[in-house]
C-alpha cells in the first residue's frame, strides 16, 4: 500500500514534467517523460551529462513501442520476447516524434522494459515512456540502492522511488539493430552467450574505435574518486607498500599485502552475486579515503564480461584480452 502511494506520487510528478529516480533490476534510473523535452533537459542538467550522450527510454508494454519506433527487426523481436522485462536494451530506428534531445540527434532510439514491478507500474500510471539514464552524476558509478541516489542527487530531484537494492547490479546489455548485423554496444545484465544462442553471432565494437557512434562509449566511466588499478601483478606491488590500499577481490582475497580494507564480490565465485555487489563494494571502498584500490580481474565470460567492462572503464585501463570489446 505504501509502495502504491509512492508510485502514484511519482507518476503525478512525471506527468507534471518533474524528474524521479526509479528502481530497476540493473541500477537506479533518473526518469522523465520521454516526450517532454523540458523535463528531459533537466535530467541532463542534474546529471551534468553532455547533451551528445543519448538516453535509454523505458517502456512497460509493447504498445509503448509503437510510439517510439517504426519497425522491429525479427531478431530484436525474438530477444525482446525472451528477455523483456529484463536487462536488455535494443537500439532501433526511431519515429520522428521522439525528441532529438532524447537520442542526441541520432536516427535511433535505445529502448528497454525493466524488470521491476514498481517501475512498470510507474510507467503505466504516468502513461508515457520514461527516459532513464543511471541516476548518478555523469562519469561516476551507477547507483544500486535508493541511498546511493539520495547521497549524490538527493537535493536536486523531485522524488526517489525506493524499490530496494538492485538485483542484477550492472546496467543492461545494449544491442544495436540499426545496421544489417546486430552489434553489441555495451555488455551488461544479459550475457552475450545467451543472446548469441538465440540470434547467432553478434558484432562486437572495438573499444579503440576512433569516433564512437554512441558518445556514451567513453573509455573513462563508472569511476570512483579513488584511483582503481586493474592490471597489476605482485611484481609492481612494491611501489605501493607505503600506501593505504583497498582490495576489490572476486573470491577469496590473497593476503600478500597489508590491505586497509578488502571487499569480496562473491565468496562462491558466482558472477551474478559479484555483479550485484560490484558498485556498492566500490562505493564502500571509495568512502574510505584510500590512496588506491586494487581490483582483481574476473574471468571474461557470462556476466564476467560486463563486470570487466565496468572495471576497465573505472580504472581507465583499456587493454582487453578480448581484443577490445565495446561500449558505454
Ligand atoms: O540498465 C540500464 O540500462 C540503466 C537503467 C536505469 O535502465 N540505464 C543506463 O542508462 O545505464 P545510461 O544512460 O547510464 O546508459 C545508456 C547508454 C549511454 O551510454 C548511451 O550512450 C547509450 O546507452 N545509448 C542511448 N541511446 C543510444 C542510441 N540511440 N544509440 C547508441 N547508444 C545509445
Ligand atoms: Mg550511466
Instruction: Please spell the DSSP secondary structure of 209-244, one letter per residue.
Output: -SS-SSTT--SS-S--SS-EE-S--GGGGGGGTTS-
Half-sphere exposure of 135 (CA within 13 A, CB side): 34
Atom of ligand 1 nearest to the CA of 87: 1
Rounded CA separation 88/111 (Å):
8
pLDDT of residue 180: 83
Using the structure block, give the residue that is written with the C-alpha cell 542526441. 104
* pLDDT digit string, tens, across residues 300-316: 999 999 999 999 989 87
pLDDT at 328: 31
Residue position matching grid coordinates 551529462? 49
- Say which range, 79-83, 234-238, 246-250, 318-322, has the weakest mean pLDDT: 318-322
Question: Cβ(82)–Cβ(198) under 8 Å?
Answer: yes
Q: Looking at residues 59-83, what average pLDDT do you find?
A: 96
Confidence of residue 249 (pLDDT cuts 50, 70, 90): very high
- Separation of CA 327 and ligand 1 centre (Å): 10
* Pocket lining: 171 vs ligand 1, CB cutoff 6 Å: yes
The Cα 265–Cα 237 span in angstroms is 22
- Protein residues placing their CB within 5 Å of the ion ligand 2: 134
Going by pLDDT thresholds of 50, 70 and 90, the confidence category of residue 325 is very low
Atom of ligand 1 nearest to the CA of 171: 1
Residue 320: what pLDDT? 39
Residue 255 CA, ligand 2 centroid: distance in Å: 33
Higher pLDDT, 221 or 272: 272
| 168 in Cβ contact with 274 (< 8 Å) | no
Q: Which of 110, 113, 140, 160 most suits a substitution to test ligand 1, by most atoms within 8 Å of the C-beta?
A: 110
Residue nearest atom 30 in ligand 1 by C-alpha distance: 214
Inter-residue contact 110 to 54 (CB < 8 Å): yes
Cell of 296: 582483481
What is the model's pTM? Answer: 0.91
Closest residue by Cα to residue 40 from 149, 130, 160, 136? 130
Quote the ligand 2 centre to 74 CA distance (angstroms).
28
Binned at pLDDT 50, 70 and 90, residue 253 comes out as confident
> 169, 277 in Cβ contact below 8 A?
yes
Residue 26: how many other CB atoms lie within 10 Å: 29
Instruction: Give pLDDT tens digits for 175-186.
Output: 999 988 899 999
Q: What is the pLDDT of residue 217?
A: 60
Residue 139 CA, ligand 2 centroid: distance in Å: 7
Average of per-residue pLDDT across 34-60? 96
Whether the bond between 85 and the residue before it is cis, its omega within 30 degrees of 0, is: yes
Amino acid at each position: 500500500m505504501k509502495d502504491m502511494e509512492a508510485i502514484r506520487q511519482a507518476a503525478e510528478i512525471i506527468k507534471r514534467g518533474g524528474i524521479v529516480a526509479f528502481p530497476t533490476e540493473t541500477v537506479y534510473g533518473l526518469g522523465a517523460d520521454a516526450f517532454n523535452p523540458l523535463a528531459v533537459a533537466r535530467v541532463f542538467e542534474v546529471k551534468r551529462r553532455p547533451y551528445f550522450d543519448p538516453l535509454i527510454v523505458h517502456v512497460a508494454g509493447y504498445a509503448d513501442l509503437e510510439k517510439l519506433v517504426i519497425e522491429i527487426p525479427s531478431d530484436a523481436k525474438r530477444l525482446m520476447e525472451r528477455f523483456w522485462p529484463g536487462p536488455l536494451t535494443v537500439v532501433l530506428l526511431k519515429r520522428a516524434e521522439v525528441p532529438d534531445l532524447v537520442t542526441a540527434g541520432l536516427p535511433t532510439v535505445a529502448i528497454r522494459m525493466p524488470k521491476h514491478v514498481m517501475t512498470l507500474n510507474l510507467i503505466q500510471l504516468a502513461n508515457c515512456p520514461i527516459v532513464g539514464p543511471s541516476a548518478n552524476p555523469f562519469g561516476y558509478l551507477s547507483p544500486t540502492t535508493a541511498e546511493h541516489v539520495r547521497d549524490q542527487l538527493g537535493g536536486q530531484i523531485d522524488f526517489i522511488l525506493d524499490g530496494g537494492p538492485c538485483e542484477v547490479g550492472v546496467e543492461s546489455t545494449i544491442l544495436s539493430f540499426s545496421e544489417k548485423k546486430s552489434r553489441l554496444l555495451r555488455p551488461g545484465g544479459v550475457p552475450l552467450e545467451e543472446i548469441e544462442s538465440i540470434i547467432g553471432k553478434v558484432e562486437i565494437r572495438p573499444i579503440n574505435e576512433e569516433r564512437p557512434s554512441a558518445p556514451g562509449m567513453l573509455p573513462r566511466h563508472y569511476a570512483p574518486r579513488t584511483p582503481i588499478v586493474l592490471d597489476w601483478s605482485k611484481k609492481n606491488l612494491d611501489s605501493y607498500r607505503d600506501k593505504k590500499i583497498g582490495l576489490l577481490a572476486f573470491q577469496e582475497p590473497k593476503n600478500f599485502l597489508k590491505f586497509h580494507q578488502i571487499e569480496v564480490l562473491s565468496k562462491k565465485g558466482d558472477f551474478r552475486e559479484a555483479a550485484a555487489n560490484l558498485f556498492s563494494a566500490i562505493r564502500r571502498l571509495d568512502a574510505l579515503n584510500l590512496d588506491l584500490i586494487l581490483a582483481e580481474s574476473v574471468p571474461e565470460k557470462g556476466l564476467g564480461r560486463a563486470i570487466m567492462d565496468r572495471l576497465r572503464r573505472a580504472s581507465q585501463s583499456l587493454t582487453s584480452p578480448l581484443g577490445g570489446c565495446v561500449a558505454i
